[in-house]
Amino acid sequence: MSIIKTAMTIAAFDRKKEVEKDHILRAAVLAVPHRMRKTPFSDNEFSIEAIENIINSIGG
């Protein structure tokens, strides 16, 4: 939900009427690291490339 709202805000800031993949990617880069679980001894590193691959695989 936060990614969607952030992507809509970024699109509006860019003076676009529709949300594009780039807006979703930029929103995900801001929202995903905050939502990742942090546990002791885990190697959960944030990867922008992984998010790009997921968004590009969605299509549209």
Amino acid at 57: S
What pLDDT is attached to residue 14?
A: 96
User: What separation in angstroms does the CA of 46 have from each of 14, 26, 33, 34?
Assistant: 26, 14, 6, 10
**Residue boundaries of the structural domains of the chain:** 2-36+46-58
pTM: 0.69
- pLDDT of 8 above 60: yes
Q: Name which of 55, 45, 57 is nearest 19 in CA terms.
A: 55
- CB-CB contact of 34 with 44 (8 Å): no
What distance in Å separates the CA atoms of residue 19 and residue 16, rounded to the nearest whole number?
A: 7
Q: Give 12-57 pLDDT, tens digit per residue.
A: 999 999 999 999 999 988 888 766 666 666 666 667 888 888 888 8
